[in-house]
């Protein structure tokens, strides 16, 4: 029997959590996976130099890792960790209690005595509705700050680091100096991640492959109709745009970054979510890739092959799956198909039992498959996430991987290989006449375009892309830097991760953050080209994170618009929204420009007042602009491009961008606006819904509320 070639592809990917305009990271998962999985996978491999594999690094992940390595990234949780525990506000404490126990409790919390003690105490406080100030001490919060990061370090990192080992041994009653030392070791660890990938690539132990830059679904960019190949009755988005040029751009950018950071161009491509189809082939033609990969289900839909399995999950006729194929057309790479059962066994099954039997079962299944092969040489492709599974394994998967690699290395029937090596040494013997459209999930694109929320996101994206493309053709020309940054926002919004969390397919406690971040990228694109974002971007596509806590108007208002509070009764009874109540996401590092928003109506006027916690001019500089989005009873926008003048000029624009009038406005101690209701096509009985966005130099710096809208009901009609 010929040896069977086993190719592992570990896919490393996280959503793009950075707002490129604002420069802020929303979630900490790149940082935490960097100190656990991205470094840990390589450290384990170094113990087994005979093991060859492929590691796929998504370019947008590389960018984020590099940001952290350069000290240019700070997510909200990291910022909250840096605060002195003695200086935490009640709002800070609430953030920590909500977000600092986000790891898998069974693997990252319960096995740590002090961390689990705090976890149970936190759960009891939530159940009993106890105030954080009464339930926890300063020392408790400091220990939470430390363990929320310390628990994520890979065991091999801890074992080789005296500082981290000492902190684990100490276990509790950490000092601010302890916390600072831990954060320094975190920075040191993250700085090792990319160089270690390059090192193992240079030695030949690993191959580094890539994915389109921001992880878009290439076939959907090239042709949304390709989704109907597997789902014929699937509705399409209402708004369409020509995304096909972006598909090639996403591939080319990936290749450029890979070569710049890792030293050489990639030879392999893992299309985002294993998504392939005939329509995406032009985007990869002539790029120099030796291979692309996807799921066995795509082979089953592309060719007449037998992929049936016996009761043990072994392929009855493995030859068809265990070989590369030539794609239809010239100057295209070979395509390989993953063994779904073996890949999913590592991703979803083996963590449920002891590592040793799991590793033994995997090797047995590969050996059984090899015995059924009649031709040769044969390639078993095992492709799965390289970070998420280890959240469910003990010791971040260390024990399992050691057991797996040791058994493979001791097995003469199995030879591990890098995908490029195999395809170069054993070119395809068979060709596909056509490549079915689909992904590695159910062999279709339902997750990314299958529900109404997905299609709404695609329509908003298409509208924004058309706006940027149109501005690129208009005179006078937009500054090249602004246009490039606007296109960057579009490319980011094309990523697959946003629609992953829309609809009912997948859900998490952070769904609203992905929703908000997607819309902020599109809003940024509009701001960068000098256009107000459409009112639809003010509303969550999915569900908002929480109800907005506001004080509704109590009576009609009578305001003199002069920017001063001359009469304390002038705004008495107004509706009120405090910046700290604008939503559940709290970013204390950047103090909001507007601290309080007051609003209300009279028989003929809609009134707004904005306070900054001091004289309004002190908080406003020249490039600051403001847009008030009104979405009910009809869509209008009140836009001012210069808040730095005593009487800022607001223009009222209808949904088509035409000016319909101007409200009165003045700023001195505060900013006051009075807008006649008839200019908004509203009557005193109508419900008004609005939100406020403030931008500086094209960047969104504040939104009130963070999500959704403020609802104004006429007090006289209640």
514-537 pLDDT, tens digit per residue, is 898 999 999 999 999 999 899 889
Q: Which of 454, 455, 460, 511 is nearest to 489 (CA)?
A: 460
> What are the DSSP E strand ranges found in 489-582?
575-578
Task: Please report the pLDDT score of residue 709 as a whole number.
Answer: 73
Q: Give backbone dihedrals phi and psi of 604, rounded to 5 degrees, phi first.
A: -135, 5
Distance (Å) of CA 218 to CA 60, 67, 275, 308, 445: 15, 26, 7, 29, 11
What tokens were used for 257?
A: 């970054």
Task: Please report the pLDDT score of residue 583 as a whole number.
Answer: 40
3-state helix, strand, coil in the chain (%, to 5): 45, 15, 40
Distance (Å) of CA 474 to CA 468, 616, 639: 10, 36, 21
CATH number at 4-17+204-232+243-431: 3.20.110.20
Task: Please report the pLDDT score of residue 469 as a whole number.
Answer: 97
Number of residues that this document lists for the chain = 718
CATH number at 575-717: 2.60.40
Q: Residue 427 CB: number of other CB atoms within 10 A?
A: 11
Residue 241 · residue 235 · CB < 8 Å: no
Q: Give backbone dihedrals phi and psi of 491, rounded to 5 degrees, phi first.
A: -60, -40
Rounded Cα distance, 140 and 313, in Å: 49
Which residues, other chains included, contact 206 with Cβ-Cβ below 8 Å and sequence gap of 6+?
A: 42, 45, 52, 53, 54, 55, 197, 200, 418
Burial of 270 (0-12, 13-18, 19+ CB in 10 A): buried
Domain residue extents for the chain: 4-17+204-232+243-431, 66-203, 451-538, 575-717
Task: Please report the pLDDT score of residue 556 as a whole number.
Answer: 87
CATH number at 451-538: 1.20.1430
Q: What are the tens digits of pLDDT across the range 689-700?
A: 888 888 776 566
Q: Residue 479 CB: number of other CB atoms within 10 A?
A: 11
Burial of 276 (0-12, 13-18, 19+ CB in 10 A): buried
Rounded Cα distance, 576 and 574, in Å: 6
Q: Give backbone dihedrals phi and psi of 297, rounded to 5 degrees, phi first.
A: -60, -30
Task: Please report the pLDDT score of residue 535 as a whole number.
Answer: 85
Of the CA atoms within 13 Å of residue 577, those in its CB half-sphere come to 27
- Alpha carbon 99 to chain centroid distance? 17
- Alpha carbon 506 to chain centroid distance? 14
Q: Which residues of the chain have pLDDT under 50?
A: 547, 581-590, 717-718
Task: Please report the pLDDT score of residue 584 as a whole number.
Answer: 35
């Amino acid at each position: 029997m010929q040896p069977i070639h086993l190719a592992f592809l570990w896919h490393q990917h996280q959503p793009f959590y950075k707002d490129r305009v604002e420069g802020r990271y929303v979630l900490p998962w790149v940082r935490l996976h960097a100190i656990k999985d991205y470094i840990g996978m390589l450290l384990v491999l170094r113990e087994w130099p005979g093991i060859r594999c492929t590691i796929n690094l998504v370019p947008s992940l590389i960018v984020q890792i590099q940001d952290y390595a350069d000290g240019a990234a700070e997510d909200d949780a990291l910022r909250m960790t840096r605060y002195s525990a003695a200086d935490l506000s009640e709002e800070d404490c609430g953030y920590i209690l909500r977000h600092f126990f986000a790891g898998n409790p069974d693997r990252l919390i319960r096995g740590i005595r002090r961390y689990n003690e705090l976890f149970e105490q936190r759960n009891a406080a939530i159940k009993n509705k106890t105030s954080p100030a009464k339930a926890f001490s300063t020392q408790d919060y400091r220990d939470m700050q430390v363990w929320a990061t310390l628990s994520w370090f890979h065991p091999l990192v801890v074992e080789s680091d005296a500082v981290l080992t000492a902190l684990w041994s100490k276990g509790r009653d950490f000092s601010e100096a302890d916390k600072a030392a831990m954060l320094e070791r975190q920075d040191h660890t993250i700085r090792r991640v990319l160089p270690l990938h390059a090192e193992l690539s240079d030695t030949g132990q690993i191959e580094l492959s890539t994915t389109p830059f921001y992880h878009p679904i290439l076939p959907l960019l090239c042709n949304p109709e390709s989704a109907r190949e597997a789902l014929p009755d699937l509705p399409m988005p209402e708004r369409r745009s020509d995304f096909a040029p972006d598909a090639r751009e996403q591939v080319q950018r990936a290749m450029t970054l890979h070569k710049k950071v890792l030293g050489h161009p990639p030879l392999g491509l893992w299309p985002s979510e294993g998504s392939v189809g005939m329509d995406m082939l032009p985007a990869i033609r002539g790029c120099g890739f030796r291979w692309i990969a996807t799921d066995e289900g795509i082979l089953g839909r592309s060719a007449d092959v037998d992929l049936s399995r016996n009761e043990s999950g072994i392929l009855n006729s493995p030859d068809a799956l265990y070989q590369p194929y030539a794609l239809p057309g010239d100057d295209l790479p070979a395509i390989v198909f993953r063994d779904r059962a073996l890949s999913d066994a590592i991703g979803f099954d083996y963590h449920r039992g002891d590592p040793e039997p799991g590793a033994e079962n995997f090797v047995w299944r590969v050996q059984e498959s090899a015995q059924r092969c009649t031709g040769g040489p044969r390639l078993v492709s095992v492709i799965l996430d390289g970070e998420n599974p280890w959240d469910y394994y003990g010791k971040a998967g260390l024990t399992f991987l050691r057991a797996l690699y040791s058994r493979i290395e001791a097995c003469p029937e199995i030879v591990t290989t890098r995908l490029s090596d195999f395809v170069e040494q054993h070119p395809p013997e068979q060709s596909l006449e056509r490549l079915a459209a689909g992904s590695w999930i159910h062999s279709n694109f339902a997750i990314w375009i299958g529900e109404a929320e997905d299609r709404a996101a695609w329509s908003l994206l298409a509208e924004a892309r058309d706006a940027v493309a149109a501005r690129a053709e208009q005179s006078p020309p937009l500054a090249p830097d602004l246009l490039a940054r606007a296109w960057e926002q579009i490319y980011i919004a094309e990523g697959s991760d946003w629609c992953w969390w829309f609809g009912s397919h997948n859900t998490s406690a952070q769904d609203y953050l992905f929703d908000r971040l997607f819309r902020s990228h599109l809003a940024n694109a509009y701001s960068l080209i000098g256009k107000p974002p459409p009112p639809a971007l003010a509303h969550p596509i999915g569900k908002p994170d929480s109800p907005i806590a506001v004080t509704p108007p109590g009576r009609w208002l009578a305001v003199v618009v002069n920017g001063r509070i001359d009469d304390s009764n002038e705004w008495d009874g107004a509706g009120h929204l405090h910046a700290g109540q604008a939503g559940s996401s709290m970013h204390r590092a950047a103090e909001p420009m507007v601290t309080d928003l007051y609003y209300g109506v009279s028989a003929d006027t809609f009134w707004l007042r904005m306070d900054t916690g001091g004289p309004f001019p002190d908080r406003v500089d020249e490039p600051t602009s403001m847009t008030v989005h009104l979405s009910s009873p009809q869509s209008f926008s009140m836009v001012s491009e210069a808040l730095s003048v005593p009487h800022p000029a607001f223009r009222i624009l209808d949904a088509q961008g035409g000016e319909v009038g101007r409200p009165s406005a003045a700023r001195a101690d505060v900013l006051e606006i009075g807008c006649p209701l008839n200019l908004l096509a509203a009557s005193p009985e109508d419900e008004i819904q609005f939100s406020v966005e403030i931008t500086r130099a094209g960047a969104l710096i504040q939104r009130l509320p963070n999500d959704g809208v403020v609802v104004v009901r006429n007090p006289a009609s209640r």
